[in-house]
Structure 1
Amino acid sequence: MSDTGTSTDSDAHDKDHDSSPASGQPPEPGGHVEGHGGDLAVAAFRAHGIDTLFTLSGGHVFPVYDGAVKAAEPLRIVDVRHEQTAVFAAEATAKLTRRPGLAVLTAGPGVTNGISAVTTAHMNGSPLLVLGGRAPAFRWGSGALQELDHPPLLAPVTKRAATVHETDRIAADVADALALAARPHRGPVFLDVPMDVLFDRAAVPAPVAEERLPAAPDPVGLAAAAALLGDAQRPVLVFGQDVWMDGADEAARRAAETMGVPVVANGMGRGVLPNGHELLVTRARAAALGGADLVVVVGAPLDFRLGYGVFGGRDGSAPARVVHLVDAPEQVSAAGPVAASASGDLTLVLDGLVEAWTQKGRPAAYQRWCEHLQAAVRTAAQSDRALLRGSGASIHPVRVYGELLRVLDDDAVVVGDGGDFVSFAGKYVEPGRPGSWLDPGPYGCLGTGLGYAIGARLARPGAQIVVLLGDGAAGFSLMDVDTLVRHKLPVVMVVGNNGIWGLEKHPMRMLYGYDVAADLSPATRYDDVVRALGGAGETVERADDIGAALARGFASGVPYLVNVLTDPQAVYPRSTNGV
């Protein structure tokens, strides 16, 4: 793999990747693949277990399509209506399967249209390969169609961004890129290939997948963390996305249950403890994180979602000490005080923590604290009941979730794409199983909804897939209902339609006494849009009709949108300290 200039390879984002075995090494003697560049790329895709390619058609990448169609094991090609949807769908596949997803984008605007989605994957730590087309090398600099040097644009938001300049390097470089994407800390990798290089032919050793041993954590860091747990009276565990992505969900549940430590779930850490578990205190999040004397954050950054790592202080108590357990050394927070940390394979990290803690001999040490938080969860549930069951002239968004919770299966996948409407979902919808919650993550990029829905339906063909959309967010991706229809991918979409940009309108009015650019057309018939694209749906104006509409959606077997007209005055309450 070679660069197109001085800044086209972002290996600085993963400085130790060259220390691992090269995934492009030849397998058994005599194992070769021959063909054009697309055939060589597809051989590498297959070696890494990829069976689906997301794309929007473009001539610069035709050989990849040809290779996907004519392979001994053809890849499924899912063509979408906007390149960001292709990348979001690939990311959803990666999140749910815990293997790299694949998006193939044509040159120039095809690549630049996908950059927000690549950035989302980067912020989420989602393993992903984006393979881009590129103007022909022999014409470079002469103004060919869609000529653009992509890697410098992608370098800041990928583990690597580079150009493959030789046909006989395509298979090895694609295989290496997929291995790098899957190596903790995970993330997207970008490669582009000049059109003439991709159309050319070569015979090369068959690519093979990298075999990677789990990284063992530093026992000193684990001992320090266990000592802090031994001294704590009010500890809390926070489980984040990387608990799921690193395959540590079972170890996380074992750790919580063995030590008896209450848990707050964050992102794809949701579902590690199922809804109703006695140690799950996400509904009492403020009380837990505000009253803790020790917070052990596992597989999540100490970003704004976790108050930048500042916990405790509730009712005059001292600030909580923080332990940070992550999948790679560079993920340990440098932004705030961390009392102890450890990095490595998170199953080994969590099992090692439990072993070190057990040596302290503290069974049932936190029982009183757990009982306090369980009481707070019951109080919250009691106070929620009126909103979840409420009726009236205006529909509160929480009522939508009260009805949704009645019909969701334990293995349903819930996709959130929106502001206030999805914030309410984060508070009230708790998955029954791990790997069942998809939201945009810390980058907060609207427009993930339909791409995530496409990827989720393919990754979980037998599960309910429900997409929760604010009406503002719906405008970013609703055209890709056409993709759902053409590829026969039934999902249920629920739009919380309050006719405003809720995250902006109310704060601006509070600050300035007025608002601008914060209104949408009231009561827009988004279900009519879905019907026009070949799906089905309905608009709901009365709270008592929500349940029946959802049931019709799940029974329909087609892309179905339930357009619920919600109260624009219902604003999601936000704390001032981030917790």
Structure 2
Amino acid sequence: MTPEIVDDHGSRRYRKVVSISQRNNLTLSGHAGQHALAVAEAHGVRTMWTLSGAHVFPLYDAVVKAGEATTTRIVDVRHEQTAVFGAEATAKLTREPGLAVLTAGPGVTNGISGIAQAYFSGVPLLAIGGRAPAWRWGTGALQELDHPPLLAPVTKLSTTAAKAADVGPVLDRALSLARSAHRGPVFVDVPMDELYSFADLPLDVTPPAARPEPDPDAVAAIATALGSAQRPVLVLGSDVWMDGAEVAARRFADETGIPVVANGMGRGVLPRGHELLVNRARSTAFKHADLVLVVGTPLDFRLGFGTFGGGDDAPSARVVHVMDSPDGIAGHVDLAASAAGDLTSVLDAVLAATRPAPTLGEWAGRLREAAAAAVESDAPLLAADGDPIHPARVYGELSRVLDDDAVVIGDGGDFVSWAGKLIEPGRPGCWLDPGPYGCLGAGAGAAAAARLARPSSQVVLLYGDGAAGMSLMDVDTLVRHQLPAVMIVGNNGAWGLEKHPMRFLYGYDVAADLRAETGYDAVVDALGGAGETITKPGDLGPALRRAFDAGVPYLLNVQCDPEVAYPRSTTGI
């Protein structure tokens, strides 16, 4: 029998008659913060990311009052962007909704970039905002701002829970929507006076909307297109992981023998070394393919906007698009076929109906050879002994010490681009990068989230020196919450992703230089972590071992060659 908890709250008195761990068909009596926590936990939330603000105190009080009955941990940060990025990374790693609690006004506006990143990445995230008191609205109360219109363009729902009794039902609806295909962030703010107020809440939880089984005609069309393809390529994107379809995707690749290019969190579905993984032959694959099957990622700039082919043997390639919801299917490309729905169901249905072309083994072998040639070509860079250090040498050393389940986080432009090329995850769900929105500053929050979600795994945060300046203060968060991570700053004293193109376009560069002398490791040391500056390539290996053994946030400030630019294509491919 659940004990009753009676507590005084100012002149009011409330009684919590059910534990937070109990779910449907019960009634919770308490303040609106308790309602919010109960609903969030029922939808799978386990971490509350926040920066303290009086507008949202009842949400913290709910966790404290719940005591051992709650499964939620409060992680307080130094900047609201880190709270949202932490919540977003939590959702990516656990495939459960992330929760960011933001105080009113600047607390909410500071979180918008992280919410936008979650929107473009299809990540289920709930941002709860404080709001100026309803009874004072329109009189100039502190941080009085109508937030929902600001958040509407980058959320699936942006609204106000106007009354205490509305908080539970509105959050339930919001979280159900966030978890439904296509996943994404939702925003709900609550007037301060109502969040502190008390009401009875019927505790019912709405599951995500069910997705229909794949259309048999769409499945047949995809199978027909694949069956006639001589040089198909399978692209696996982040939604393969987010949709829990990584097993089906690997089965599909293994049984059809179709070569695979993976991006985003689709990386690792085929682990490094898999004979069908041809990321290193990406350009060759896309240029010479006669059909490209894209699963779980939009046909955006990362995939040349869906334009493939161009080789003599394939002036253009047919494109098949498979997404978790109909609104994700590309409308700007003339598709050979498409399907929407649960990605495991779609892949299994197409697999059952597909008969690959008999020449597919030759095509896969051709791409394996191209991938092997690319690896061989890069081998000298991975062992480069130059001074300053070539960024590829960093990854040559790092790849030797990474475990298969290591979580690797990219927060940067030029330096992280080298990682995307040279580091291949050993398992799915282990790679985080800025995604299609390309927002920097997510690193510290993602590192904290990774340590919480994967307590026994290596956590490696790859920072460009520009990106490091956006969130390095939140090493304090890692220290306070005892969340060790290894951080590597590729310090070339520049915004490299801008410096080199600007030189190419104009013959000069401005607003692109930083201080290579900045002691990023000293910043971490001052915040309670540790680190060191690396100037010689031969020192990288021993320094990495010290970092992984340190048991505290540890930063390697690697002096990289500012004249080395990551080689880029202007086509998006």
Common fold: TM-score over 0.5:
yes
Alignment equivalent of 1:573, drawn from 555, 567, 571: 567
Matched, 1:409 2:403: yes
CA shift digits 1:65-114 (9 cap, x unpaired): 10011112252110000001000000000001101000000000000000
- Which residue number in structure 2 is paired with residue 309 of structure 1? 306
One-letter code of the match for 1:529? Answer: V
- Which residue number in structure 1 is paired with residue 370 of structure 2? 376
In 1, Cα distance between the equivalents of 2:112 and 2:45? 22
- Which residue number in structure 1 is paired with residue 164 of structure 2? 167
Alignment equivalent of 1:150, drawn from 132, 147, 151: 147
One-letter code of the match for 2:451? Answer: R
Matched, 1:563 2:560: no
- Which residue number in structure 2 is paired with residue 191 of structure 1? 188
CA shift digits 1:21-77 (9 cap, x unpaired): xxxxx9765x11010110111110121121210000000000011001111225211
Alignment equivalent of 2:83, drawn from 80, 83, 86: 86
Kindly state the Cα deviation for residue 199 of structure 1 after the two structures are TM-superposed: 0.7
One-letter code of the match for 1:53? Answer: M
Alignment equivalent of 2:219, drawn from 222, 230, 233: 222
Q: Residues 28, 420 of structure 1: CA spacing in aligned structure 2 closer, same or farther, 3 A cutoff? A: closer
- Which residue number in structure 1 is paired with residue 65 of structure 2? 70
Q: Is the partner of 2:52 in helix, strand or coil?
A: coil
Q: Is the partner of 2:201 in helix, strand or coil?
A: strand
In 2, Cα distance between the equivalents of 1:364 and 1:258? 13
Deviates more, 1:138-147 or 1:384-393: 384-393
CA shift digits 1:209-264 (9 cap, x unpaired): 51654431111111111111111100000000000000000000000011000000
One-letter code of the match for 1:449? Answer: G
* Aligned partners of 2:409 and 2:432 also within 8 Å: yes
In 2, Cα distance between the equivalents of 1:136 and 1:174? 19
One-letter code of the match for 2:472? Answer: L
- Which residue number in structure 2 is paired with residue 341 of structure 1? 338
* Aligned partners of 1:61 and 1:195 also within 8 Å: yes
Matched, 1:503 2:497: yes
Q: Residues 392, 66 of structure 1: CA spacing in aligned structure 2 closer, same or farther, 3 A cutoff? A: same
In 2, Cα distance between the equivalents of 1:60 and 1:212? 32
* Aligned partners of 1:54 and 1:78 also within 8 Å: yes
In 1, Cα distance between the equivalents of 2:46 and 2:115? 20
Unaligned runs of 5+ in 2: 1-21
- Which residue number in structure 2 is paired with residue 531 of structure 1? 525
- Which residue number in structure 1 is paired with residue 135 of structure 2? 138
Alignment equivalent of 2:425, drawn from 427, 431, 441: 431
One-letter code of the match for 1:447? Answer: G
CA shift digits 1:290-333 (9 cap, x unpaired): 11000000000000000000001124632100000000000000
In 2, Cα distance between the equivalents of 1:317 and 1:28? 57
* Aligned partners of 1:248 and 1:347 also within 8 Å: yes
* Aligned partners of 2:24 and 2:205 also within 8 Å: no
Unaligned runs of 5+ in 1: 1-25
In 2, Cα distance between the equivalents of 1:406 and 1:195? 52
* Aligned partners of 1:498 and 1:523 also within 8 Å: no
* Aligned partners of 1:104 and 1:132 also within 8 Å: yes
One-letter code of the match for 2:549? Answer: A
One-letter code of the match for 2:32? Answer: G
Deviates more, 1:187-196 or 1:306-315: 306-315
Q: Is the partner of 1:224 in helix, strand or coil?
A: helix
In 2, Cα distance between the equivalents of 1:563 and 1:215? 50
TM-score (norm 2): 0.94
Q: Residues 316, 368 of structure 1: CA spacing in aligned structure 2 closer, same or farther, 3 A cutoff? A: closer
In 2, Cα distance between the equivalents of 1:211 and 1:474? 37
Q: Residues 506, 207 of structure 1: CA spacing in aligned structure 2 closer, same or farther, 3 A cutoff? A: same
**Count of aligned pairs:** 550
In 1, Cα distance between the equivalents of 2:24 and 2:260? 48
* Aligned partners of 2:50 and 2:75 also within 8 Å: yes
- Which residue number in structure 2 is paired with residue 457 of structure 1? 451
Q: Is the partner of 2:408 in helix, strand or coil?
A: strand
In 2, Cα distance between the equivalents of 1:215 and 1:77? 37
Q: Is the partner of 1:181 in helix, strand or coil?
A: helix
Kindly state the Cα deviation for residue 423 of structure 1 after the two structures are TM-superposed: 0.3
Q: Superposition pairs for residues 158-307 of structure 1, below 5 Å?
A: 158-210=155-207, 212-307=209-304
Matched, 1:57 2:52: yes
Q: Is the partner of 1:350 in helix, strand or coil?
A: helix
- Which residue number in structure 2 is paired with residue 11 of structure 1? none
Alignment equivalent of 1:39, drawn from 34, 38, 59: 34
Matched, 1:419 2:416: no
In 1, Cα distance between the equivalents of 2:376 and 2:315? 30
In 2, Cα distance between the equivalents of 1:74 and 1:353? 40
CA shift digits 1:330-365 (9 cap, x unpaired): 0000122211100000000100110110xx4x4754
Q: Is the partner of 2:183 in helix, strand or coil?
A: coil
Deviates more, 1:555-564 or 1:382-391: 382-391
- Which residue number in structure 2 is paired with residue 352 of structure 1? 349
One-letter code of the match for 1:268? Answer: M
Kindly state the Cα deviation for residue 384 of structure 1 after the two structures are TM-superposed: 1.1
CA shift digits 1:176-211 (9 cap, x unpaired): 211110111000000000001101100121232516
Alignment equivalent of 1:543, drawn from 537, 547, 569: 537
In 2, Cα distance between the equivalents of 1:206 and 1:316? 61
In 2, Cα distance between the equivalents of 1:445 and 1:576? 20
In 2, Cα distance between the equivalents of 1:284 and 1:363? 21
One-letter code of the match for 1:408? Answer: L
Q: Is the partner of 1:314 in helix, strand or coil?
A: coil
* Aligned partners of 2:176 and 2:209 also within 8 Å: no
Alignment equivalent of 2:487, drawn from 493, 499, 510: 493
In 1, Cα distance between the equivalents of 2:511 and 2:29? 56
* Aligned partners of 2:519 and 2:533 also within 8 Å: yes
* Aligned partners of 1:43 and 1:207 also within 8 Å: no
Identical aligned residues as a percent:
63
In 1, Cα distance between the equivalents of 2:33 and 2:415? 43
Q: Is the partner of 1:549 in helix, strand or coil?
A: helix
One-letter code of the match for 1:347? Answer: T
CA shift digits 1:528-553 (9 cap, x unpaired): 00000000000000001001111100
Kindly state the Cα deviation for residue 395 of structure 1 after the two structures are TM-superposed: 0.8
User: What is the Cα-based RMSD across aligned positions, in Å?
Assistant: 1.2
* Aligned partners of 1:260 and 1:364 also within 8 Å: no
CA shift digits 1:359-408 (9 cap, x unpaired): x4x47540110010010011111111101111122211000000000000
Deviates more, 1:207-216 or 1:236-245: 207-216
In 1, Cα distance between the equivalents of 2:60 and 2:189? 15
Q: Residues 121, 28 of structure 1: CA spacing in aligned structure 2 closer, same or farther, 3 A cutoff? A: closer
Deviates more, 1:536-545 or 1:500-509: 500-509
In 2, Cα distance between the equivalents of 1:419 and 1:137? 43
- Which residue number in structure 1 is paired with residue 119 of structure 2? 122
Kindly state the Cα deviation for residue 125 of structure 1 after the two structures are TM-superposed: 0.2
Matched, 1:97 2:91: no
